[in-house]
Amino acid sequence: MHTHTHNTNGQVVSTATTVVFALECAMKIVSEGLKPQRYFTDKSNGGFNTFDFVIVVGGFVIRMGGSSSGGALGAIRMLRLLRLLTFIKGVQQVMCAWVCVSVRVWALVWVCVCVCALGCAEWLTH
């Protein structure tokens, strides 16, 4: 009985925060006037706005799908926590740096994979 109440309260809080974030997105888009695409393309906040929008839409999609628990909903909740961090300017800079570094690390990993593959191919042919 206690678990059911906990799940219901969690669902109410999750839905309420998704609605609040959706209203925020909607207000920001409407505030762009005749050029709502600027919400997504703004050089200083467009990436974070897109991130926010995806989190909100994902939350609604999961809710409409009838899912009340599971990995996807948990992931959306975790992303929502990251979304809250976007309000802090220093965190935005750290997140941008992390994205840049992770992209470069993956590029380095692929270079290593290619070098190893070429080395193995060379070794096998001799």
Report d(CA 110, CA 122) in Å as an integer. 18
42: tokens are: 């703004």
Is 59:18 a contact under the CB 8 Å cutoff?
yes
Q: What is the pLDDT of residues 22-58, one digit of tens each?
A: 898 899 999 999 999 999 998 877 787 888 888 888 8
CA nearest to 51, candidates 64, 37, 36, 40:
40
| Whole-number pLDDT of residue 89 | 63
- Give phi and psi for 16, each to the nearest 5: -60, -45
Q: What is the pLDDT of residues 50-81, one digit of tens each?
A: 888 888 888 788 777 765 555 665 676 676 66
* 60: number of Cβ within 10 Å: 14
| Whole-number pLDDT of residue 54 | 83
| Whole-number pLDDT of residue 111 | 82
Residue 102 has pLDDT above 70, yes or no: yes
Three-state DSSP class for residue 67: coil
CA nearest to 53, candidates 16, 28, 85, 89:
28
Report d(CA 10, CA 4) in Å as an integer. 10
Report d(CA 82, CA 87) in Å as an integer. 10
